[in-house]
């Protein structure tokens, strides 16, 4: 791997700089000039709002913490400096590989960060950025599996797209309201409302409202006109009702870091909590998001070599220019409601109920030239459109995809303490989803302005490439039993879950075959785990888990048409459910000076589906395109260590070795490519991270450096992304409270401090980039994958305060 000299120098400078700051501050305190350090009482745990049972196999339900501080609180944004590794290694007890982050880490990142962008330091987690501020996109891999194969839970509800499984974490919650994130790198919870988590689970929780009325204000600005304005208002305890809550609002935006265009986002969060008795609580969580951005263009390797950062949408308008940036827009809008409820029905019986509703909708827009006459509506040829301005026989249109999806669900579980050492758990999850997607076209005006509602029609019908109406129902049932033996040192759990997914839909485009599509899946999913507490500080664990994923995306069931083609440009595939069997053996230590964890893992998959995002031929419209590669085996070891504060420093290190291979030859439809034994795509052999945090209550800073090994992007291993290193730094200063102003602070975040230009991940995979000989002797021509480009240098200054 070749590292830029500037990257090495800057990394060394940051380490030395943080050390100097720490020594200078220590010397000042020794002379009596330093400020006092906060002294807090022990945290008081409140009932979790996740809606999941803590006794179920592998379950670690993050407990929301309320810190009562007797004097000198550390900060107004939730920093307590209690988590080892500067917030990167909270204590874990689940019998599986599991990592997490807390407010000690989250609050020191750029306030524009989203859930996914925060996780790149954790072992085995590879986050591929497209913008350095974390406002756009989600692309993450764990053990060679991407975000569509990872289950995402927010306050106990599954809030990823239930059909294409994209998490869209930028829509969920503002980072100022995010309490903690827990990552399970290999297996989901038995009772989690998920049916795609073959690669693990990510669980996020929101902060709890304060018992005191007040609020929090954060104003940020940075490079490329980046900005964010955030305010949260707290009600405090409302009389003697036991109710408290908050409402927050934010606006953020920037100009694109690569090419013209930009992003704006409006977001609203609210959470109200009612608590009574012992272990009874009801939470009401609401979120609204309105977001629009100019998407990034994904280059091939040749385009990256030729244009580099210059490969983007065109900033200059000309007639017929389908790559004009104002024609490319992506809208991510959502409304969500989650109502986690916990009830103590008896001393030995607890009930958890989480109803939720999610509405996600577009549209997404792109430019496309279509025939002025003689084009196609499905398989039917149309005549002269008599619309727009004709250039070389085509008219430039704004192609719109107004997807609209609604999901309602209910997750119920109960824990029955049969004896003092035995707990029986059972539950049921039901969800209903509708999805509508009718693409359309409208002519672009002479000044380059796009869609305005003037939709092109053919014989009175909207000209479209797909007119999809999709419905899905999910039912899952589970039972589990947990036995604690040897004075609670040995815990053994076994459980069984059955998942039933039913899908059906129609495509109303003329000539669509099939006109009606459906899929029904029934999967039994057993799990087993055991852990032994060797000492109060040392634990060993093992587990065996199974999980499955129903085929991804509506496009997996339906044809996609285009006016430029007499037949479908994308065909549905006969995809079987993805199924995984995983085993882990691990050890963790939670001690006076540091926390440590290490685990060995093995994952075997059948019907493994590689998720590839591709363009509809001759267009700028992106769709998900799943490909069944057959079996895949992933084996490796991961480890992390986080040190507790020593002279205000908290170091952290993590790493993973991964060996992931394809088990079968790839069927191209015309022959078999010899891919068995090849390294799996998107599976870097080595990944690692180093973190260093300093916080004395007044001055604070952190440094993060991440290494990602090279990754293959074709099944034949004939094209790959080079390895790369990125590093970030944060520096800040907190002031003393005065009057109603609580701990105002100024914070500087610098991302990609070496301004490393790199390809961060594949946007689309292919079987082979170069011509390859199949087993039948025929030659298959190559096609290049496309790539996401990593975010460049960026800086953000934030001024915040409580009140």
Q: Is the pLDDT of residue 236 over 60?
A: yes
pLDDT in tens, 169-195: 999 999 999 999 999 998 889 999 999
What's the whole-number mean pLDDT along residues 138-159?
Answer: 92
pLDDT interval class at 56 (50, 70, 90): low
pLDDT interval class at 290 (50, 70, 90): very high
* 66-70, 576-580, 702-706: which is most confident: 702-706
pLDDT in tens, 363-385: 999 999 999 999 999 999 999 99
pLDDT at site 624: 60
pLDDT interval class at 50 (50, 70, 90): very low
pLDDT at site 552: 85
d(CA 273, CA 389): 58
Buried b (16+ CB within 10 A) or exposed e, 415-440: bbbeeeeebbbbbebebebebebbbb
pLDDT in tens, 314-360: 999 998 999 999 999 999 999 999 999 999 999 999 999 999 999 99
pLDDT at site 12: 43
pLDDT at site 614: 59
What's the whole-number mean pLDDT along residues 10-23?
Answer: 40
What's the whole-number mean pLDDT along residues 734-743?
Answer: 92
Reduced to 3 DSSP states, what percent helix, strand and coil does the chain have, rounded to the nearest 5? 10, 50, 40
Q: Is the pLDDT of residue 68 over 60?
A: no
Q: Is the pLDDT of residue 26 over 50?
A: no
pLDDT in tens, 465-486: 999 999 999 999 999 999 999 9
Q: What residues contact residue 424 under an 8 Å CB cut-off, 6+ apart?
A: 415, 416, 418, 479, 480, 481
**Residue with tokens 């459980």, as numbered in its chain:** 495
Q: Is the pLDDT of residue 9 over 60?
A: no
pLDDT at site 386: 87
pLDDT interval class at 616 (50, 70, 90): low
Q: Is the pLDDT of residue 69 over 70?
A: no
Percent pLDDT > 90 in the chain is 76
**What kind of architecture, by CATH, is found in domain 5-29+40-275+287-802?**
Beta Barrel (2.40)
Cβ(711)–Cβ(682) below 8 Å: yes
Cβ(252)–Cβ(225) below 8 Å: no
Q: How far is CA 701 from CA 15, 75, 102, in A?
A: 11, 14, 16
pLDDT at site 687: 97
DSSP 564: T
Q: Is 651 exposed, middle or buried (0-12, 13-18, 19+ CB in 10 A)?
A: buried
pLDDT in tens, 625-669: 678 889 999 999 999 999 999 999 999 999 999 999 999 999 988
Q: Is the pLDDT of residue 115 over 50?
A: yes
Mean pLDDT (the chain) is 88
Indicate the SS3 state at residue 133. Answer: coil
Domain extents for the chain?
5-29+40-275+287-802
What's the whole-number mean pLDDT along residues 614-627?
Answer: 63
Does 129 or 521 have the greater pLDDT score? 521
Q: Is the pLDDT of residue 35 over 70?
A: no
Does 338 or 26 have the greater pLDDT score? 338
Does 73 or 367 have the greater pLDDT score? 367
pLDDT at site 129: 85
d(CA 601, CA 685): 14
pTM metric for this prediction: 0.90
d(CA 163, CA 611): 13
Cβ(756)–Cβ(4) below 8 Å: yes
d(CA 713, CA 767): 9
Q: Whose CA is closest to 250, among 154, 102, 112, 359?
A: 112
Q: Is the pLDDT of residue 116 over 60?
A: yes
Q: Is 459 exposed, middle or buried (0-12, 13-18, 19+ CB in 10 A)?
A: exposed
Does 688 or 70 have the greater pLDDT score? 688
pLDDT interval class at 555 (50, 70, 90): confident
């Amino acid at each position: 791997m070749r590292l830029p000299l500037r990257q090495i120098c800057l990394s060394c400078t940051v380490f030395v700089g943080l050390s100097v700051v720490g020594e200078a501050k220590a010397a000042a305190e020794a002379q009596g000039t330093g400020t006092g350090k906060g002294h807090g009482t022990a945290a008081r745990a409140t009932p979790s709002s996740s809606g999941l049972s803590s006794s179920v196999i592998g379950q670690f339900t993050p407990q929301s913490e309320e810190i009562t501080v007797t004097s000198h609180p550390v900060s107004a944004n939730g920093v307590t400096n209690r988590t080892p590794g500067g917030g990167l290694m909270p204590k874990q007890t689940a019998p599986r590989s599991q990592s997490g982050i807390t407010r000690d880490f989250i609050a020191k990142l750029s306030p524009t960060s989203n859930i996914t962008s925060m996780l790149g330091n954790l072992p085995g987690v590879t986050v591929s950025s497209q913008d350095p501020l974390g406002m756009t996109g989600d692309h993450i891999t764990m053990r060679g599996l991407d975000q569509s194969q990872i289950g995402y839970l927010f306050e106990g509800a599954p809030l990823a797209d239930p059909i294409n499984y994209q998490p869209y974490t930028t829509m969920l919650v503002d980072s100022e309201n995010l309490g903690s994130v827990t990552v399970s790198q290999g297996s989901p919870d038995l009772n989690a409302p998920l049916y795609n988590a073959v690669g693990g689970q990510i669980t996020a929780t929101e902060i709890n409202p304060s018992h005191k009325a007040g609020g929090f204000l954060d104003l940020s600005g940075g490079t490329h006109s980046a900005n964010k304005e955030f305010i949260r208002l707290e009600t405090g305890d409302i009389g003697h009702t036991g109710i408290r809550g908050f409402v927050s609002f934010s606006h953020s935006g920037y100009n694109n870091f690569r090419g013209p265009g930009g992003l704006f986002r409006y977001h609203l969060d609210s959470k109200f909590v009612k608590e009574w008795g012992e272990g009874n609580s009801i939470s009401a969580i609401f979120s609204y998001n309105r977001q629009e951005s100019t998407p990034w263009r994904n280059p091939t390797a040749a385009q990256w070599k030729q244009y580099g950062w210059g490969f983007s949408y065109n900033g200059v308008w000309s007639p017929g220019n389908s790559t004009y940036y104002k024609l490319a827009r992506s809208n991510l809008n959502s409304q969500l409601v989650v109502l986690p409820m916990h009830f103590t029905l008896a001393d030995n019986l607890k009930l958890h109920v989480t109803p939720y509703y999610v509405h996600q909708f577009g549209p997404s827009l792109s430019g496309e030239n279509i025939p002025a006459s003689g084009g196609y509506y499905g398989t039917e040829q149309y005549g002269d459109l008599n619309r727009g301005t004709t250039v070389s026989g085509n008219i430039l249109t704004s192609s719109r995809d107004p997807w609209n999806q609604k999901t309602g669900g209910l997750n119920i579980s109960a824990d029955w303490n049969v004896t003092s050492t035995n707990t029986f758990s059972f539950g049921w999850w039901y969800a209903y989803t509708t999805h509508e997607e009718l693409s359309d076209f409208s002519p672009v005006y002479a000044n380059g302005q796009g869609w305005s509602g003037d939709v092109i029609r053919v014989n009175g019908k909207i000209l479209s490439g797909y007119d999809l109406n999709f419905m899905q129902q999910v039912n899952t049932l589970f039972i589990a039993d947990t036995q604690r033996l040897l004075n609670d040192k040995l815990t053994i759990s076994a459980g069984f879950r059955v998942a039933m997914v039913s899908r059906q839909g129609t495509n109303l485009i003329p000539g669509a075959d099939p006109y009606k599509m459906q899929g029904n899946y029934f999967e039994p999913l057993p799990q087993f785990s055991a852990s032994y507490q060797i000492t109060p500080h040392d634990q060993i664990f093992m587990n065996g888990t199974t999980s499955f994923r129903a085929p991804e995306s509506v496009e997996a069931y339906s044809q996609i048409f285009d006016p430029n083609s007499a037949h479908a440009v994308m065909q549905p595939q006969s995809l079987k459910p993805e199924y995984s069997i995983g085993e882990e053996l691990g050890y963790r230590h939670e001690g006076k000076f540091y926390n440590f964890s290490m685990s060995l893992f093995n994952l075997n998959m059948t019907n493994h589906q590689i998720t590839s995002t591709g363009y509809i031929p001759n267009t700028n419209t992106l769709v998900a395109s799943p490909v069944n590669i057959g079996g895949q085996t992933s084996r490796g070891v991961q480890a992390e260590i986080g040190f507790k504060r020593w002279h205000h420093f908290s170091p952290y290190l993590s790493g993973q070795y991964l060996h992931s291979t394809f088990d079968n030859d790839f069927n191209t439809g015309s022959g078999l490519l010899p891919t068995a034994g090849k390294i799996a795509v998107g599976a870097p052999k080595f990944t690692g991270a180093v973190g260093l945090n300093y916080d004395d209550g007044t001055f604070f800073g952190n440094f993060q450096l991440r290494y990602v090994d090279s990754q293959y992007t074709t099944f034949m291993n004939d094209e790959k992304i080079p390895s790369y290193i990125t590093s970030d730094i944060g520096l800040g200063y907190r002031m003393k409270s005065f009057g109603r102003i609580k701990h105002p602070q100024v914070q500087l975040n610098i991302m990609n401090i070496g301004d490393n230009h790199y390809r961060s991940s594949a946007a689309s995979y292919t079987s082979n980039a170069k011509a390859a000989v199949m087993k039948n002797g025929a030659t298959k021509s190559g096609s290049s994958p496309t790539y996401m480009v990593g975010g460049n240098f960026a800086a953000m200054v934030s001024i915040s305060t409580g009140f």
